[in-house]
Structure 1
Amino acid sequence: MPRIGLDLPTLLTAAAEIADREGFEAVTLASLAQKLQIRSPSLYNHIAGLPDLRRHLALRGLATLSAQLEQEVAGCTGDDSIRAFSRTYVAFARTHPGLYEAIQRAPAPDDELLQQAGGRVLDQVYRAMTSYGLEGDAAVHAVRAIRSLLHGFVTLERQGGFGIPLDLDVTFRLMVDTFLAGVKAMRTGEG
């Protein structure tokens, strides 16, 4: 019998808090049950186990990021769109480090729901690339590049890899502007 007031959204909120505070790997059935002050078997009324819980966290993270991107990137085009995407992506990773970690894992090939959720995030940046005239393979390369840049920045920042006391926001803007110069060179055939 499920505990009154305990449902999947409540479980996911508690699990996301653990993930953001202690890291994604700290999310276990035992840590979640302890946080909720229940016994671990009670969780099985709502999830099928740890992989299912982590999948739900990834879905929540992707939905949250997608909603933030839609709000921040709406109405932007060209450079403004890429800058808004980049700022929002990094802000999400800073605010929700555990959920950010959850969304980095590639979904199983048969997990259509997780693939669609990830696709909604990628669609935001693909749409921005069309304003540069990039389509097909060129757009894929550009999207991979911006994701790699942003993930690298987030990872180095989170792990304390930027030890020199210079303003990280300046570094971030320089990185995005350099990427934009490269995208424009791709469009004109210079790159």
Structure 2
Amino acid sequence: MSVQRVVAAAAELADEIGFEQLTLSAVARRFGVKDPSLYVHVRNLRDLRVRVALLAGGELNDRIAEAIAGRAGRDALFAFADAYRGYVLDHPGRYAATQIRMDPADLADAPELRRSVDLVDAMLRGYGLPEPAHLDAARLLRSTFHGFATLEAAGGFAHSRPAADTWRAVLDALDRTLSNWPIPE
């Protein structure tokens, strides 16, 4: 057993049972050991959850980076959004981990989180938005992607129209919005 194996098992468990239900006892049971055995690898539950969040953030960023490589504008927006949504649907527990508030000390050695900002910047570059419009657009996209994907993952779209069709309509609307963003003079 290593720190990486403990964190990977915790991430898998979070996807299975939900991040909020993740406990040291549940992870220990996964390995067939007693809870104190895990303290060799993680300090406490908070430490384990932060490590799962950082792992998940890195995985999400890798998926997005691969999707947007060589793309710009609308193509980059759609690729970014699909990668984001896909990760949330594939790994709901891990994704939930990425939403926890972390202490600055937790982030000191976490290039995963800075990379997420860089990926958003790269994707938005094709729209040529100056500050503060660039930041406003990034917030709009994060809110939309997060909201749609978490609602979908929770079964919140129980309607005859497929969620994927609505997703495409939302992305079309976002592309039009970003292409016509009002820039104050």
Give the structure 1 partner of residue 150 of structure 2: 155
**Residue type of the alignment partner of 1:7:** S
Whole-Å separation in 2 of the counterparts to 1:124 and 1:73: 8
Give the structure 2 partner of residue 108 of structure 1: 103
CA RMSD of aligned residues (A): 1.6
**Among the aligned pairs, what percent are the same residue?**
34
SS in 2 for 1:110: helix
Whole-Å separation in 1 of the counterparts to 2:31 and 2:106: 28
Give the structure 2 partner of residue 16 of structure 1: 11
Offset from partner CA, 1:75-105 (integer Å, 9 cap, x none) = 0111111110000000000111111000012
What does 1:49-60 align with in structure 2 at a 5 Å threshold?
49-60=44-55
- CA positional deviation for 1:185: 1.1
Whole-Å separation in 1 of the counterparts to 2:107 and 2:7: 20
Whole-Å separation in 2 of the counterparts to 1:110 and 1:32: 25
From 130, 146, 162, the equivalent of 2:125 is 130
Q: What is the aligned residue count?
A: 184
Whole-Å separation in 2 of the counterparts to 1:23 and 1:12: 15
Tell me, yes or no, if structure 1 residue 178 matches structure 2 residue 147.
Answer: no
Whole-Å separation in 2 of the counterparts to 1:68 and 1:123: 14
- CA positional deviation for 1:114: 6.5
Offset from partner CA, 1:145-188 (integer Å, 9 cap, x none) = 011111111121122221211121110011011011111111x6
CA 180–106 in structure 1, closer or farther in 2 if over 3 Å, else same: farther
Give the structure 1 partner of residue 75 of structure 2: 80
**Residue type of the alignment partner of 1:148:** S
What is the TM-score normalised by the length of structure 2? 0.94
- CA positional deviation for 1:67: 1.1
Structure 1: 5+ residue stretches without partners: 1-5
What is the TM-score normalised by the length of structure 1? 0.91
CA 137–110 in structure 1, closer or farther in 2 if over 3 Å, else same: farther
Tell me, yes or no, if structure 1 residue 43 matches structure 2 residue 38.
Answer: yes
SS in 1 for 2:156: coil
Whole-Å separation in 1 of the counterparts to 2:84 and 2:117: 11
